[in-house]
Chain A
Amino acid sequence: MQWETVIGLEIHVQLSTRTKIFSGSSTAFGAEPNTQANAVDLALPGILPVFNEQALAKAVAFGLAIDAEIGKQSFFERKNYFYPDLPKGYQTTQLEAPIVGRGHVDVLLDNGESKRVRIHHAHLEEDAGKSLHEDFHGMSGIDLNRAGTPLIEIVTEPDIRSAAEAVAFAKKLHTIVTAIGICDGEMSQGSMRFDVNVSVRPKGSETLGTRTETKNLNSFKFMEEAIHLEVERQIDILEDGGSIIQETRLYNGDTKTARSMRSKEEANDYRYFPCPDLLPVVIDESYIDAIRDTLPELPDAKVSRFIRDYDLTDYDANVLSASQAMADFFEGVAKSGGDAKLAANWCMGEFSKYLNQNNLEIEANPITPENLGQLIARIKDNTISGKIAKTVFQAMTDGEGTPDQIIEAKGLKQVTDTGAIEAMVDEVIAANLDQFEEMKAGKDKLMGFFVGQVMKISKGQANPGQVNQIIQSKLKG
């Protein structure tokens, strides 16, 4: 039987506010345990929450970025459950009236098609602390630094049909939240965490199968692996005549295995009800407009502009605008190099390869957009060939100076002196007379061989176009 996978995602995005959503503690990552937990975060008796307006502004910005309805009268509710890293015994969250209503995100798939994923809603809530199970001699430690960090939980409709689509969507979401500056996007620090709801159904069926939820995946890779694993598991069960149990599952990225955490029957009754300590969040059109005015260019708009202004392909425009840093870098290179197509190729090619191989962020890499632009300018004005440019690039990464300095110091300037090239051509013909005769007789394929030989003895510095021209003239002569 042919199966269709149906996926819905819930994404927790940490908002990059300076302080917590209901207290004045810092949200900075990596501090000593419990040094960023005040009386409110510890849920001491008698404490009260005060809502951080910055979290509201960022949530509204997200809503605007996905073209969503903004809840003008949202309110907070308590979601009750006991866990040691949940200090109050309830999480303050939104259920009935979330801040962000229906919206959508358009995703470019690998096959070049655009796919719209509908967002059901996004709500504001507080993060829990962390339970630490090592190093406490059979006991558990609790770190409440993270408790109260503002989150938006984004809930999609079940519009996603494969792990690849899920990853493409997740990456697009990452692009959006970092572009509008509401999240630092640091996946390894838990700034974005994914819960995946997966079900399968016979292809063509309209009804949804029973779903499972795999929680707390904190990388695109783990998400992809977890979905593949779960889809296979469900298909195996169904094909063996079994049925899927609705349950919450945990994926272990180290062992590449997943296990059931709790079934639907064991699920908590969270007893949601409006939090009496907080007033409803009432905002008006002018508040929303003010936030709209602060939004930077959105990723989709950037893609359109790149296509329009730089004549890039849809694919290139999407890749280059996936992060704000790359988009800015590319624009800098295109501007100083004077050739957008070459700038795009270099940014996506050598430059990205270099970043990946060295695990570098754009901000921390030694090459400036102006330098890469200069390199491209030298290709364009025939000072160096594309091949030599790679050598220059290598030297740039080693900090040997600007392209011009390197070309000068290493004597990499392309040989364009016709006399010098002709001498080299003659040398190659003299050494390969038989082949030259064959080529003369019509064996055109040998052209490449002769150009290659000349380039070789010129150490790559001869202008390949000129070499070609001179050999052609020798053939006629």
Chain B
Amino acid sequence: MLNKTIKQLADGLASGEFSSTELTQDYLAKIKSEDAKYNAFITVTDEHALAAAKTADERRAAGKAEVLTGVPIAIKDIFCTQGVKTSCGSKMLDNFIAPYESTATQKLSDAGMVSLGKTNLDEFAMGSSTESSFYGPTRNPWNLDTVPGGSSGGSAVAVAAGMAPVALGTDTGGSIRQPAAFCGITGLKPTYGRVSRWGMIAYGSSLDQGGPMAQTAEDAALILNTIAGFDPKDSTSMDKPVEDYTAQLNAPLTGLKIGLPKEYFGSGLSDGIRNAVIDAVKQFEKLGATVKEISLPRTELSIPAYYIIAPAEASTNLSRFDGVRYGYRCEDPKDLEDMYTRTRSEGFGTEVKRRIMVGTYALSAGYYDAYYRKAQQLRRMIKQDFVTALADVDVIMGPTTPSTAWNIGAKNQDPVAMYLEDIYTLSVNLAGLPGMSLPCGFHDGLPVGLQVIGNYFSEAKLLNIGHQFQTATDWHTKKPNA
């Protein structure tokens, strides 16, 4: 049961091959026996899950099941889930039981999906390795000494290690795509505004977007069908009809125009990844696509632009964690100043504090024009580069990451080295475009991700491309044997 895609699980549940309760019990048992190795989950919600599974079985018996009713899922612990601890990987929220439900998880629950628990992440989604979590690092099932990527590392590992058939992640600068690449799964960051941010704890509000982390593109399409759509509670969500993302999966790729940005294949890219990506592109040529070199000239500038804008937004988004209303409060505060200072000094980890300080600095009087305003100008130029490129090609392809998963501890003393690992993913968030990572090979035994970037609201096209690739290749079926 546990090696099935959610498409297969949905079919099995529909045919009565197994019940949601049986399925859920198996996954919970697997998490219980194996997660000690990985630390992918912060909270496993056994009781909630079994109750939801029972409800799903009853719903199916009543003939009211939807496609995904009864299918389990793991949720990144950044989505507020009512009555369940929602920690965001931080000591600050270690005691926080969300009193309300995020729109994305509500939609999953309305569809009858069964949440197994909340997955580990870099604290407040700030990181590329899931090492900065208050709950300790998550380990990559392909090699337990390596990181799973981040910040949605827990969700990626839950899927890669078979502890959940699919998971929900969020992506601010690569946090779905990069861990998907490191763990050999399929991850989709939708267009900014496609999935509601209501109830998703904000890191960089203008960049954050929730999306599926799945075994296949087809599974990702099923999840996107469920979570996408306008939400009156999120002013930045797009009031645009949701298409059926599975409808185009089988369309042929004949005539597809692929652009390869030369900046994505320069120095800094490991040869192993370069070769895997080039092979994948050749596969698309076999499927009828044409390939041309393009240029995204400001790719390198996306790093400084991102590392101004995201921390600037984060610095104010995280001001609410002040010990007054919920979350961590320091012991015996002397006065208000002391309460603020110690609550935040003790409640936040190093990387979060670093980004709050960077963001605060960038927004300060006298520095705003030099940093924040300039970064916004860069952002517009980066977006324009994509618009220009996508006028000429249908999709852009390249590596998701410059290297494969690194060893735990290797980069977390050198934040800039860590930031450089996001070079191919950041610009997609700055532009607000959809991006997907597909498993496309291995380098030294670790998975390699192919990134596919499409135009605004072209998720159906991306998933079609993913599905066709996965129909022609079997990289996505490889499982770690950790």
* Contact partners of A51 in chain B: CB under 8 A: 235
Q: Assess the B86–A45 pair: CB atoms within 8 A.
A: yes
Binds B, one of A79-87, A247-255, A334-342, A453-461: A79-87
Partner of B320 from the list A49, A89, A142 (CB cut-off 8 Å) is A89
* B206 contacts chain A at the CB level, 8 A cutoff: yes
Partner of A89 from the list B232, B236, B312, B322 (CB cut-off 8 Å) is B322
* A475 contacts chain B at the CB level, 8 A cutoff: no
0/1 per residue, A28-44, Cβ < 8 Å to B?
00000000000100111
Binds A, one of B95-103, B271-279, B387-395, B419-427: B95-103
Q: Assess the A44–B235 pair: CB atoms within 8 A.
A: no
Partner of B198 from the list A47, A87, A279 (CB cut-off 8 Å) is A47
| 8 Å CB interface, B464-481 against A | none
* A269 contacts chain B at the CB level, 8 A cutoff: yes
Q: With A and B bound together, what is the CA distance between A88 and B204 in angstroms?
A: 15
Q: Assess the B363–A45 pair: CB atoms within 8 A.
A: no
0/1 per residue, B204-242, Cβ < 8 Å to A?
111000000000000000000000000011111000000
Partner of B88 from the list A45, A50, A89, A90 (CB cut-off 8 Å) is A45
**Interface range on chain B: under 10, 10 to 19, 20 to 34, or 35 or more?**
35 or more
Select from chain A the residue with minimum beta-carbon distance to B366.
A269
Select from chain B the residue with minimum beta-carbon distance to A45.
B201
Select from chain A the residue with minimum beta-carbon distance to B376.
A274
* A48 contacts chain B at the CB level, 8 A cutoff: yes
Q: With A and B bound together, what is the CA distance between A80 and B204 in angstroms?
A: 16
Partner of A142 from the list B205, B324, B363 (CB cut-off 8 Å) is B324
Q: With A and B bound together, what is the CA distance between A273 and B59 in angstroms?
A: 48
Select from chain A the residue with minimum beta-carbon distance to B208.
A276
* Contact partners of A48 in chain B: CB under 8 A: 197-198, 233-236
Q: With A and B bound together, what is the CA distance between A44 and B197 in angstroms?
A: 13
Q: Assess the B336–A84 pair: CB atoms within 8 A.
A: yes
Q: With A and B bound together, what is the CA distance between A46 and B321 in angstroms?
A: 12
Asked, given contacts A39-B100, A82-B340, A273-B312, whether A46 binds B319 with beta carbons under 8 Å apart, the answer is no
Q: Assess the B325–A82 pair: CB atoms within 8 A.
A: no
* A258 contacts chain B at the CB level, 8 A cutoff: no
* B382 contacts chain A at the CB level, 8 A cutoff: no
* B93 contacts chain A at the CB level, 8 A cutoff: yes
| 8 Å CB interface, B332-372 against A | 336, 340, 360, 363-365, 368, 372
Partner of A277 from the list B98, B205, B321 (CB cut-off 8 Å) is B205
Q: With A and B bound together, what is the CA distance between A271 and B311 in angstroms?
A: 13
Q: Assess the B325–A43 pair: CB atoms within 8 A.
A: yes
* Contact partners of A271 in chain B: CB under 8 A: 315-316, 360, 363-365, 368
Q: With A and B bound together, what is the CA distance between A277 and B312 in angstroms?
A: 14
A329 to chain B, nearest CB (A): 43
Q: With A and B bound together, what is the CA distance between A273 and B360 in angstroms?
A: 11
Q: Assess the A46–B200 pair: CB atoms within 8 A.
A: yes
Asked, given contacts A49-B235, A269-B365, A271-B365, whether A44 binds B100 with beta carbons under 8 Å apart, the answer is yes
* Contact partners of B235 in chain A: CB under 8 A: 48-51, 277-279
* B202 contacts chain A at the CB level, 8 A cutoff: yes
Q: Assess the A87–B365 pair: CB atoms within 8 A.
A: no
B364 to chain A, nearest CB (A): 6
Partner of B316 from the list A42, A90, A278 (CB cut-off 8 Å) is A90
Q: Which of A45, A48, A269 has the most CB of B within 10 A?
A: A45
| 8 Å CB interface, B108-142 against A | none
B151 to chain A, nearest CB (A): 15
0/1 per residue, B283-326, Cβ < 8 Å to A?
00000000000000000000000000000110110111110111
* Contact partners of B372 in chain A: CB under 8 A: 273
* Contact partners of A43 in chain B: CB under 8 A: 320, 325
Partner of B80 from the list A46, A142, A272 (CB cut-off 8 Å) is A46
Q: Assess the A80–B233 pair: CB atoms within 8 A.
A: no
Q: Assess the A45–B96 pair: CB atoms within 8 A.
A: yes
* Contact partners of A50 in chain B: CB under 8 A: 232-235
Judged by DSSP, the binding face of B is: loop
A92 to chain B, nearest CB (A): 10
Q: With A and B bound together, what is the CA distance between A278 and B365 in angstroms?
A: 23
Select from chain B the residue with minimum beta-carbon distance to A279.
B235
* B454 contacts chain A at the CB level, 8 A cutoff: no
Q: Assess the B198–A46 pair: CB atoms within 8 A.
A: yes
A170 to chain B, nearest CB (A): 31
* A78 contacts chain B at the CB level, 8 A cutoff: yes
Q: Assess the A89–B316 pair: CB atoms within 8 A.
A: yes
Q: Assess the A45–B236 pair: CB atoms within 8 A.
A: no
| 8 Å CB interface, A79-120 against B | 80, 82, 84, 87-90
Q: Assess the B80–A273 pair: CB atoms within 8 A.
A: no
A40 to chain B, nearest CB (A): 9
Q: Assess the B316–A78 pair: CB atoms within 8 A.
A: yes
Q: With A and B bound together, what is the CA distance between A269 and B201 in angstroms?
A: 25
* B199 contacts chain A at the CB level, 8 A cutoff: yes
Q: With A and B bound together, what is the CA distance between A201 and B301 in angstroms?
A: 52
Q: With A and B bound together, what is the CA distance between A139 and B360 in angstroms?
A: 30
Q: With A and B bound together, what is the CA distance between A289 and B316 in angstroms?
A: 37
Select from chain A the residue with minimum beta-carbon distance to B324.
A84
A77 to chain B, nearest CB (A): 10
Select from chain B the residue with minimum beta-carbon distance to A275.
B205
Partner of A276 from the list B201, B206, B319 (CB cut-off 8 Å) is B206
Select from chain B the residue with minimum beta-carbon distance to A270.
B365
Select from chain B the residue with minimum beta-carbon distance to A39.
B100
Q: Assess the B93–A45 pair: CB atoms within 8 A.
A: yes
Partner of A87 from the list B98, B236, B325 (CB cut-off 8 Å) is B325
* Contact partners of A90 in chain B: CB under 8 A: 316, 319
Partner of B99 from the list A39, A89, A277 (CB cut-off 8 Å) is A39
Q: With A and B bound together, what is the CA distance between A276 and B100 in angstroms?
A: 22
* Contact partners of A49 in chain B: CB under 8 A: 235
Q: Assess the A276–B313 pair: CB atoms within 8 A.
A: yes
B41 to chain A, nearest CB (A): 20
Q: Assess the A277–B236 pair: CB atoms within 8 A.
A: yes
Select from chain B the residue with minimum beta-carbon distance to A83.
B336
Select from chain A the residue with minimum beta-carbon distance to B197.
A48
0/1 per residue, B60-101, Cβ < 8 Å to A?
000000000000000000011000001010000100101110
Q: With A and B bound together, what is the CA distance between A82 and B337 in angstroms?
A: 10
Q: With A and B bound together, what is the CA distance between A43 and B318 in angstroms?
A: 11
Q: With A and B bound together, what is the CA distance between A45 and B321 in angstroms?
A: 9
Q: Assess the B363–A273 pair: CB atoms within 8 A.
A: yes
A104 to chain B, nearest CB (A): 31
Q: With A and B bound together, what is the CA distance between A25 and B258 in angstroms?
A: 50
Q: With A and B bound together, what is the CA distance between A277 and B198 in angstroms?
A: 10
Select from chain B the residue with minimum beta-carbon distance to A49.
B235
Select from chain A the residue with minimum beta-carbon distance to B309.
A276
A144 to chain B, nearest CB (A): 8
Asked, given contacts A47-B198, A50-B235, whether A276 binds B205 with beta carbons under 8 Å apart, the answer is yes
| 8 Å CB interface, A376-390 against B | none
Q: Assess the A88–B233 pair: CB atoms within 8 A.
A: no
* Contact partners of B315 in chain A: CB under 8 A: 80, 271
Q: With A and B bound together, what is the CA distance between A45 and B347 in angstroms?
A: 15
Q: Assess the A89–B86 pair: CB atoms within 8 A.
A: no
A138 to chain B, nearest CB (A): 11
B317 to chain A, nearest CB (A): 9
* Contact partners of B204 in chain A: CB under 8 A: 276
Q: Assess the B320–A88 pair: CB atoms within 8 A.
A: yes
| 8 Å CB interface, B127-186 against A | none
* Contact partners of B321 in chain A: CB under 8 A: 45
Q: Assess the B319–A44 pair: CB atoms within 8 A.
A: no
0/1 per residue, B188-204, Cβ < 8 Å to A?
00000000011111101
Q: With A and B bound together, what is the CA distance between A279 and B192 in angstroms?
A: 13
- Known interface pairs A46-B98, A46-B198; 8 further A-B residue pairs with C-beta atoms within 8 A, sorted by A's residue number: A45-B201, A46-B202, A48-B198, A49-B235, A90-B319, A272-B363, A277-B235, A277-B236
A-B contact pairs, 24 of them (CB 8 A): A39-B99, A43-B320, A44-B100, A45-B321, A46-B79, A46-B98, A48-B198, A49-B235, A50-B233, A50-B235, A51-B235, A80-B315, A84-B324, A88-B319, A88-B320, A142-B324, A269-B365, A273-B312, A273-B316, A273-B363, A273-B368, A276-B204, A276-B205, A277-B235
The 5 closest A-B pairs by CB, nearest first: A89-B319, A271-B363, A276-B206, A276-B205, A45-B201
